[in-house]
Each structure stands twice: as C-alpha cells, then as structure tokens.
Amino acid sequence: METFWTNTAKLPSFPSMTHDVRADVLVIGGGLTGLLCAYHLKRAGLDVVVTEADTIGSGVTGRTTAKITTQHGACYHTIAARYGMGTARQYYDANREALEAYHDIAGEFDLKSCDGFLFSRIHREVLETEYNTLRTIGAHVEWAEDVELPFPVAGALRIPHQAQVHPLKLLAFLTAGLTIYEHTRVREIRGSITTTDNGTTITAKSIIVATHFPFLNRHGAYFLKLYQHRSYVAVVDQAPPIEGMYWEASNSGFTIRQCGDQLLIVGGGHRTGKPGLGWKATEQLVRHYYPGAEITARFATQDCMSLDGIPYIGRYAKHIPQLYVATGFGGWGMTSAMTAALLLTGELIGKPKPWAPVFAPDRTIWHRQLAVNVGETFKTMITPTVPRCPHLGCALKWNAAERSWDCPCHGSRFSESGKLRNGPATGDIKKG
C-alpha cells in the first residue's frame, strides 16, 4: 500500500545531521516542495541545506497521484468572484509558469504530456461559468463533447498540454548535488539559528518551512487558516485505458488517471477526523463501472486546504522577515510545489514574481471557511475524551478504515499505539 511508487523507483538515502552547519537558506521538509525550492535556489547560486524529520518523499509526496495542471478544480470563476478577474489571471499565469518549468527539466525524469479534463456529473452550469472565466483571462480551454469515462457526465472541459509524472523519479533527480539531512527533526527556530532534536544547529539567513502543515503555532495563525482533507486512492488493474487525466469539479468528487497499465481512481474525500466513505466510494465506482477490473492496491493521501482555495506562499509572518512558508495546496500539490519554488526563489534573489501577491499568507482571512475551522476546533477542544492531540489538545477521533487516531482540528494523525503519522503535531500521543 505504501510502496505503490517505490516499486518502480529508488530514492537515495542521506545521513542525519551530526554537526553544526551554516547556509544561505535552510529548507525544512524533504518532500517535493522542499526539494524543488532547494533545487531552484541552488541553481540561483545560493548555498542551501535541507532537513527532513523522516526520509525524503516519506510524506504526502509519496502518496500523490502526480497530476501537473493549471486547472485546480473549477477554481477560476471562484477566484474572480472573490478577488477580481485580474487576480484570476495572475493565478493562471503562476500555474502556467509552473507547468512550463516542469517541461523545462523533463528530460531528466519521466514526464508525460497529456490533456486534462474537468467534468461534472450533475452541474453543467458550473462548467459554463468556469469556461467563460477561462476564456476571459486568456486560458486555452475547449468543450469536450466525448470523454473516456464509463459514466454519464453533464459536461467536461478539455485543458490541453498538461502533464503527469512519476513523483519519486522526479524527487531522485532533484536531490543531485543538494545537501540533505534525513532523520533530522527541527525543534526550535530562534532568529537565524535553528536547533534540531539532537542538538545540532543550522545558521541561515533565510528559512523556508515546507512541512505540508506549518509546525510553528505562535506565528501566522495557520491553525485557523488551514484544515486537512483526506482522500482515498484505488489502483485498478484490467480496466479499459484512458488518455488524459480527469477530475470532478468538486472536492468530494472523483479523479481518474492512467498510470502505466493501471488506473488511479481517487474518491471518498472528507475532512480529516470526520466520518467519510474512505475506500468504499472508489470500490463502489469500480464495481459498478469497471466490472472486469480488479483493485490491486490502495493508499490514502492528505491535503492542506486554505480558507479561499489559494495556497499560502511567502513570508511566514510579517514580523519574521527571514522566515518563509509554502502550504495550503489543496489537492494540487504537484503544480503548487513548483509555484512555491519559483516564487520563493524570486523573493530570495531579489527578483519577485509579478503574481506573488496572489499567494501572500497575510491576505484576508474573512471567509466562510474560517467560521467552520473555528467552530470545529472549539467543539473538538471541549470534547472531554481521550486521547488528545499533542499539537493543540483537540480530542482525537478513531479512523476504523485506516486504524488511526485522527485530529478533526488540524489533521494530525497517529497510529493505534499513538505514534505520529502526520503533522502538524511533532510528537507522539502522550501516555497517561
């Protein structure tokens, strides 16, 4: 289950940190975002160190479906309604530049160009509104009258020249020439000095927190601005092959893409720590629409969701000028990781991207989702049950499908015995 991508790729290993080091930039987190940032910063001439609490690619990167696309659900008409057509155009420009950046280095790893398809099984009007917005901002989009899906749809948009990739082969390529320390968890950041769990320090002019969910609670209010969302992937054998990638215009909808001779089908999404269908949703779809197919593997993934659907990339907080963050990618971490690398590299070398303000972490928090996040946190914090999450003390919920303790507040997850699986918590469940 955990080895779907590792069956066909081998990642290099790196030592833990045993001595103090200095660098221009410290990148905390050895997933795709952290390594893309380090890769671009090193190309720009900066001295970079990467620390990873576990092993590189062991977090969300190892569980991605690896779609690279400018189209993040039916996002553009929502962005235009909230912030104006100019912001929607800048968001598109950022993601288009990220997509092109992948193509620029594609000769070094497996990358396949393909079309993307945004579909809806019920609401054609959502696609019509999205289509009109995309045309207005100059995006290349077409109506797709015929789609390779086994179920009927109300409509679909075709977004040409997108891409899909083997994420671990990409990660292996990015590590070449980088200074990386695995099994090196950051414990504290004070000014330019970062201390690890084993007492070693990194002194750096700038620090990038690329840990999926930011782990510093005292700054930036990310515990209010983010929640986490789980979705479930079925690896399907003996199903009719499809060309392109398909995703539904809904956070709880399905995503389908070809991967070699298999299909990856994603569904059953729900807020982490809340009830959901889990793998039942994808299993039901496979049984009904792919009767001759077989599910040969399953895995789950987790996404950080921002208040407005746009990632937070930039300064961690106004009063900490040396600290930067990249988080809140929703289900679009492949593209957003590259967007983050391009944006933060531009900031650190004094060549900021014109679209950088769209992603500013200090933008308004006054969205409906804020009330949902606050309400969920308050309700769970006053629930008088154990175990409790060591992050901020919320009551954990038992996830029978994955046999884990999950936090409805911020998405930390723990094994049945209390071992940490996913942050933002940085330690195991406290006993007693």
3-state secondary structure 244-295: CEEEECCCCCCEEEEECCEEEEEEEEEECCCCCCCCHHHHHHHHHHCCCCEE
Among residues 233, 251, 216, the alpha carbon closest in space to that of 5 is found at 233
Q: What's the whole-number mean pLDDT along residues 21-40?
A: 98
- Tracing tokens 């179920």 back to the chain, one arrives at 151
- Nearest-angstrom CA–CA distance, 313 and 355: 11
Distances (CA, A) of 398 to 276, 371, 377, 378, 386: 12, 24, 17, 19, 11
The size of the chain, in residues, is 432
Q: Decide: 387 and 405 in contact? Cβ < 8 Å.
A: yes
Can you name the residues that pair with 302 across neighbouring β-strands?
230
pLDDT tens-place string over residues 129-144: 999 999 999 999 999 9
What are the residue ranges of CATH 3.30.70 in the chain? Answer: 227-302
Among residues 319, 311, 365, the alpha carbon closest in space to that of 342 is found at 311
pLDDT at residue 1, as a whole number: 39
* Predicted confidence (pLDDT) at residue 108 exceeds the cutoff of 80: no
Name the percent of the chain lying above pLDDT 70: 99
Domain 227-302 belongs to what topology? Alpha-Beta Plaits (3.30.70)
Just give the CATH number of 6-64+168-224+309-359: 3.50.50.60
pLDDT tens-place string over residues 359-418: 999 999 999 999 999 998 888 888 888 889 989 888 999 988 888 999 988 889 999 999
Just give the CATH number of 368-421: 2.102.10.10
Q: Is the pTM of this model over 0.75?
A: yes
- The residue among 166 and 252 whose pLDDT is bigger is 166
* Predicted confidence (pLDDT) at residue 106 exceeds the cutoff of 80: no
- For 296, list phi and psi in degrees, rounded to 5: -100, -15
Q: Provide the pLDDT confidence category of residue 3 given band limits of 50, 70 and 90.
A: low
What are the residue ranges of CATH 2.102.10.10 in the chain? Answer: 368-421
* Predicted confidence (pLDDT) at residue 178 exceeds the cutoff of 60: yes
What are the residue ranges of CATH 3.50.50.60 in the chain? Answer: 6-64+168-224+309-359
- Nearest-angstrom CA–CA distance, 82 and 294: 43
Task: Classify residue 55 as exposed, middle or buried by CB count within 10 Å of its CB (0-12, 13-18, 19+).
Answer: middle
* Predicted confidence (pLDDT) at residue 426 exceeds the cutoff of 90: no
pLDDT at residue 432, as a whole number: 57
